Amino acid sequence: MNKINENSFPVEGLAASDISFEQLLSKTAEEKANVEINRVKISYNDMPEYRDKLNIKKNSSRKQYASIYFIRYEELSPIVLNAAKVKWNTGASHVDKILEVKPDTLCYIVGTVYMEMQYKPNILAEVSRDDWEPIPPPREKYYSDTDEIWLEDDSGRIKLVGDSLKKEVIISGIIMAALGKENSQGDFEILDICFAGLPEQINTTVRMDADDDDKYVALISGMNLDTDGALETRLQLMLEYLTGGLGSFPEQQNFSSKISRIIIAGNSLAEVKVVPDDKKQKKYGYDNSSYDAEPRIQLDNFLEKLCSLLPTHMMPGNHDPADFTLPQQPIHPNLLPKVGRNPNFHGVTNPYWCELDDVVFLGTSGQTIDDMYKYIESEDRIAIAERTLYWRHIAPSAPDTLWCYPFERYDPFIINQMPHVYFIGNQKEFATSLIEGPNQQRTRIILLPSFSESGVVVLLNLKNLKCHTTCFK
């Protein structure tokens, strides 16, 4: 689990101290200048089995959220049970219903975790709060020492205690198996816990052949185009680099032309901040004169240039004009008139599953990890991302603290297939790690930094799942 920036720059660079700039600048490359460099092509499969689950067709919010928990439990608990049996079958027995746990007997139980936290936003507290009290500011973390962890199944719930809990990352909504025994106070003392484990991966040995050309997929998030209307130079540089204008011929041939797609993981538009203007007459309700279409038009122009030369997949983020609840639907093509109907442009959901050249990608725009980050004490975001794979669920804190749509028949966030690449957008900084599972599963986890802050674009080599970052200044 190394978190070092694995930078593998394939273009042979010359040491800066050695070369003469004159030589570089005047390289006419006469013999090569007229050679057309073609961009590599890769196949795209948008994985309809996931896409259909994530695309909400009938938008009805009149359902209860209990269903999603029930489905989650139904689907994941057999898997967790099997894993638990493998782990603990010697010596401990499984108790079907939590209510039937007998004191002082070593056993293991399976259920959904619920965390009782005093700082977690609580709808009952909000409703019962008196009107004159100011709204408490949103906290960065819900974690506190008084948190309680409960395990629930369809029969009842029981409180979990024990020191081993502190070592683990536990979030509301995960399906977990706990080994221990009930103590005199009615709490379940934990000795060990077990999760669903990494799912199976299809095509595990897919990317091992060395004779193929390098093919890269660019991942970027957080462009945050703003109302001042100025397209920054770095965005312009990035556009030129990816579309093949920038760079000398060797770099273009060996690197830029190998970039086959770009996935934009959310937050292409900046968060809208309404500046209160005292001179303006106050309007009750929504003041639509405060809307500035400039960033969206900028984005449209930018994407138009990008899409003409590079297939683009754009996911919505929490700043973008898309649903607030997960799974966010694709940004409506009419919002981006120039590029919306362009066949090279794919507006996709958040979270997003796709398959590029047999490499399965799973990505979110960051809301899932950001929400889970509030539950735990540590700052390690990549650990959270890894845990989600072990829990087999992208967003276990939905719908508790993360808004999501009340699904009735299925839970679209369950990971039942191990992706090859798991990327999360709009994080603080770039981080990556490679997970290897017991059945030869390999997953590259990538945390994408926000481009507006760092200027970093991540280029993933499909051949060997290595990451390369390019910074535009």
Partner 1 sequence: MTITEQLEIIKQLVLKERKIVTYEWLSKYLNIHVNEAKPLLYKFVSEYGSSNKESFYTVYCISGVSTINDQHTVTLIYQENLENIRKDFSKVSSLHVYSVQPKCPTEAELVKANQGSIDKVSTEPVLPSNTNREVTLTANKKESSNTSIKPNEKESEKVNPTQPEISKPNTVTIKSAFSKEKQLINKQNDDSHLGKATSHEIETSKEEQEDRQSEGKQFVNQQKNDKTEDIVPQDESKTSNKKSKKRKSDECESNLDEASKEGRVNNKQKNDLDLQNTTEKFMTIMTIDNAEKDQPQEKQSAVSASPDQQSALPTKKRGRRQTLKFRSYVNEKGYTVRENYHEWESFSEDESVLEPPAKKSQKAIKAQEPKGVAKRVKKKKGDNGSQKSLLNFFGKK
Residue of 147, 154, 232, 300 interacting with partner 1 (CB under 8 A): 232
Amino acid type, 393: H
Choice between 90 and 289, CB closer to partner 1: 289
Helix axes 233-243, 294-307, angle to 10 degrees: 20
Q: Which of 94, 159, 305, 428 binds partner 1 (CB under 8 A)?
A: 305
Instruction: Determine if 251 is a binding residue for partner 1 (CB under 8 A).
Output: yes
Encoded one letter per residue, x for contact with partner 1 by CB under 8 A and - for no contact, window 72-101 reads ------------------------------
Q: Return the number of the residue (186 or 245) whose C-beta is nearest partner 1.
A: 245
Residue 290 sits in the site that holds partner 1 (CB under 8 A): no
| Interface with partner 1 in residues 21-50 (CB under 8 A) | 21, 24-29, 32-34
Residue 407 · residue 395 · CB < 8 Å: no
Stretch near partner 1 under the rule CB under 8 A, chosen from 121-129, 131-139, 217-225, 247-255: 247-255
Nearest CA to 76 among 207, 158, 201, 174? 174
Q: Decide: 310 and 239 in contact? Cβ < 8 Å.
A: no
> In what order do the strands lie in the sheet containing 216-220?
345-347, 312-315, 259-265, 216-220, 456-461
Contact positions with partner 1 (CB under 8 A) in 363-422: none
Q: Distance between alpha carbon 289 and the CA centroid of its chain, in Å?
A: 34
| Cβ 83 to partner 1 shortest distance, Å | 40
User: HSE (CB half, 13 Å, CA atoms) of 467?
Assistant: 26
Nearest distance in Å: CB 363, partner 1: 22
In the bound complex, what is the minimum distance in angstroms from residue 471's beta carbon to partner 1? Answer: 5
Select 221 or 365, whichever has its Cβ closest to partner 1: 221
Q: Indicate the residue among 31 and 140 with the shorter CB distance to partner 1.
A: 31
Contact by Cβ (8 Å): 53, 409: no
Site for partner 1 in 7-26 (CB under 8 A): 7, 9, 11-17, 19, 21, 24-26
- Report whether 381 contacts 369 (CB < 8 A): yes
Residue among 280, 314, 284, 282 at smallest CA distance from 299: 314
**Binding residue for partner 1, selected from 65, 119, 249, 410, defined by CB under 8 A:** 249
The candidate with the shortest Cα–Cα distance to 220, out of 12, 467, 43, is: 467
Torsion angle of the four alpha carbons 64, 65, 67, 70, in this order, in degrees rounded to the nearest 10:
-150
| Stretch of 112-120, 168-176, 277-285, 385-393 lying at the interface with partner 1 (CB under 8 A) | 277-285
Q: In terms of CB distance, is 329 or 469 closer to partner 1?
A: 469
Does 293 participate in binding partner 1 (rule CB under 8 A)? no
Q: Is 216 in a helix, a strand, or coil? A: strand
Q: For 392, left (φ over 0), alpha (ψ -120 to 50), or beta?
A: left
Name the residue nearer to partner 1 (CB basis): 236 or 325. Answer: 236
* Contact set with partner 1 (CB under 8 A): 5, 7, 9, 11-17, 19, 21, 24-29, 32-34, 230-233, 236-238, 240-241, 244-252, 255, 281-284, 301, 305, 468-473
